[in-house]
A and B are shown apart, each in its own frame.
Chain A
Amino acid sequence: MNWSLFFGELVSGLTLGSIYALIALGYTMVYGILKLLNFAHGDVYMVGAFIGFFILQWLGGPLKPVVTGWLAVAIMFAVAMIGCGALGVGIERFAYRPLRNAPRIAPLISALGVSIFLQNSALLLWGPQFRDYDTFDLVGVKSYHIGQNFFISNIQILTISVSIGLTIALTLIVSRTRTGKAMRATSFDRDAAEMMGISIDRVISFTFFLGSALAAAGGIMFGLVFGQIFSLMGFTAGLKGFTAAVVGGIGSIPGAVVGGFLIGLLEAFATGYLPGGSVYANLYVFALLIVMFLIRPSGLLGSPVIQKV
């Protein structure tokens, strides 16, 4: 057994899975409340990565930031999460709300339209070039090792920790706050919740804000770990996040996190162990999606929908 390879892929998978989990949370929350697959979510993640990049430039760039590297990272997270939260609210207000009572295919098409709009706007505004976070210059990447076989970098630790921290914060918001209770009520029965005096519009806007903010955090984490961002990065990441949400059980917050980590680990171990894995890792990931649909359509932690007849 090559333990070095095993632990290496484990850390890579958890890092990648952290990013997928954050994207999947946005998909699952919006689906839970609106029963809508928000296909623009991957592009919100891309916008978050770019907001982080431009904030970094505004702070003087990675070589000479006007604040310390870690403070710059914190500011990038904060601004990008607020910016993307606002973007998510805007998308819901103008692209989905007018279609709330339309047939279910209409908002789905609208979501695809928003995705293409965001992608092409990014291409037009920022060009198709890769933008470099230069994490080495910004925070100084350090690699830690335990024994001969276990290696992890400070950026990987940060990514996994931030992801777990944000998931816990989200869980607390949903389970312990009045707004969270309103979200759960809306998800359970929108009409009944409205009759109980809950402002549905406000709850839905807040859900979009949270989901988009989490996607922005994922985008910045991608830039920090892998060094570069580009305007088309949201498409594949969005698909993986969606797959993670489905595998975990769409509508389930713990399911999204489990699905995200599962997809990340599968991708990493497929690259490390399976033939042609580094080229065909996506094949294995999407094959899992198909298998999951066949065996357990409601996902790992999703509950089967019971229909009255």
Chain B
Amino acid sequence: MKKVVIAAVLAAIVAVLATAAWGSTTGASKVASVANADTALVKCGKTRSIGLLAPITGPAASLGLPQVHWANFYKNTYNRTHKKKIKLVPEDTMLGSANGTAEAVKGAQALGSNAAVLGVVGPAGSNEVKATTGALKGAGLGWVSGSATNTQITLDGTRTGFFFRTVPPDSSQSKSVTAYITGTLKLKRVYIIDDQEAYSTGLADEVQAQLQAKGVTVGRDGVSQQQSDFTSLINKIPRNTQLVYLPWQLPPKGKAFGQQMKSLGRAGVKLMGSDGLFDPLFSSLGNNVYDSFFPLNPADKRVAAFTKIHKSSELFGAPSYVATQVVTGAIDRACKNGTASRAEVRAQIKRTNILAATSLLGLQVKFDKHGDMVKKPFGIYHSVKGVFVRVA
């Protein structure tokens, strides 16, 4: 019996050592494959593949689907007028779901291991950008988000040269928000509630600091994205509060908060959301709702064409059209000699220059050394009869 136990222990030790040795070998080959993925030349062929990371399902699907629609709208427009075609490879990130950013990471890994993918559009959330950095950067992919606005994700240096965005950062959004609250609405008592995610806390911190610097009394609290009962939190908001600022990502939560405010007799308090809440669900709450959003050109004929197809302008997704345009343009330039590597595509993304006259955003799309757009204004919108109208 004793011999059997000793043999079993020895067998277990051998198995553990063998597994560790195998793991270290595959680790080495992983490093090699990352280096290969970065510089490996891919035959461009007739169809070029672009990854698309978006919350296609999940609590933030109402934000993700417009992004998918606008990216597909660009793809269809491009494919109609070009001999070489582009193909989008979608991966669902399920932003806001209970398992956090795990789905986004899985999607990024899938795109990284797909040799045909030369660049990526997305993901939507700043926390997702942080979470997917290892997988995308490790695979040598450049990626362009149409909605991740946390100021630090371009400034912290972690993903410089790999990550770009076609939306202005929170630092720009917070300035516009603060200016409107203090300058136009002339409010003195504001309550800020973040949703504990990187995007939300970053923007909330900036708005809070700027409002306090202008003499506004600011209360601050936070909620989890999983929470649906806001009544206890609403009770905490001082009765003399004039505006509640919600830098959230999930419009259904914004709507639930607004409805619970009304049911507790707080219908008179103004609500202001950030770009994440720029959605009919939030604007439907009534005329006391405001929001900040990208400076789109609503008169652009592409907006009209999109609206005709989708019966709604779904403007939140429009920067993803531009992101797809940026990646496609970079692949086109990198593919001039028939082959391209992911490193070449990244270099070409950096050199993007879409003039204001032709840009859907109504401003020049050109990146600075951090991956931010050189020009980055933000607009303020007011809900009139349930529809957001630009007021600043």
A binding-site residues for B, Cβ under 8 Å: 4-5, 8-9, 11-13, 15-16, 127-130, 132, 135-136, 141, 143, 145, 151, 153, 155-156, 222, 225-228, 230, 232-233, 235-236, 267-269, 271-272, 276-279, 281
Choice from B94, B98, B239, B259 contacting A141 with Cβ under 8 Å:
B259
Q: Interface-forming stretch among B14-22, B156-164, B261-269, B362-370?
A: B261-269
Would you call B228 and A4 a contact (CB within 8 A)?
Answer: no
Contact of B265 among A16, A143, A225 (CB under 8 A): A143
- Beta-carbon contact of B223 and A227 below 8 Å: no
Report the bound CA distance from A226 to B255 in whole Å: 10
Q: A128-B59, A129-B61, A233-B228 given as contacts; is B233 within 8 A of A278 (CB)?
A: yes
Contact A227 B255 (CB under 8 A): yes
Query: Per-residue CB proximity of B195-206 to A under 8 Å, as 1/0?
Result: 010000000000
- Size of interface on B: residues with Cβ below 8 Å to A: 35
Report which of B58, B224, B228, B232 forms a contact with A227, defined as CB distance below 8 A: B228
Q: Which of A151, A228, A235, A279 contacts B264 (CB 8 A)?
A: A151
Most buried by B among A128, A141, A143, A272: A128
Q: Nearest B residue to A151 by beta-carbon distance?
A: B265
- Nearest Cβ on chain A to B90's Cβ, whole angstroms: 16
B39 within 8 A of A: no
B260 contacts A8, C-beta separation under 8 Å: no
A127 touches B236 (CB 8 A): no
Chain B: minimal CB distance from A96 (Å):
26
Contact B57 A129 (CB under 8 A): yes
User: Which 6 residue pairs spanning A and B have beta carbons closest together?
Assistant: A8-B235, A271-B232, A130-B252, A143-B265, A12-B231, A153-B263
Check B256–A228 contact: CB distance below 8 A: yes
Task: Given A16-B229, A129-B59, A233-B228, check contact A272 B256 (CB 8 Å).
Answer: no
B226 lies within 8 A of chain A by Cβ:
yes
Q: Is the CB of A9 within 8 A of B263?
A: no
Rounded to whole Å, the gap between the CB of A255 and the closest CB of chain B is: 24
CB distance from B252 to the nearest CB of A (A): 4
For the complex, is B171 an interface residue (Cβ under 8 Å from A)? no
Complex Cα–Cα for A145 and B264 (A): 9
Closest chain A residue to B59 by CB distance?
A130
Cβ contact within 8 Å between A271 and B58: no
Cβ distance A261 to chain B, nearest Cβ, rounded Å: 14
Least CB distance from B200 to A in Å reads 12
Asked whether B300 is an interface residue with its Cβ less than 8 Å from the other chain, the reply is no
CB-contact partner of B232 in A129, A228, A232, A267, under 8 A: A267
> Would you give 15 A-B contacts (Cβ < 8 Å), ordered by A?
A4-B235, A4-B239, A9-B235, A16-B229, A16-B231, A129-B57, A130-B59, A130-B250, A225-B229, A226-B229, A227-B255, A227-B259, A232-B98, A269-B232, A279-B223
Chain A residues contacting B264 (CB-CB under 8 Å) are: 8, 143, 151, 153
Report the minimal beta-carbon distance from A222 to chain B, rounded to whole angstroms: 8
Contact B256 A9 (CB under 8 A): no
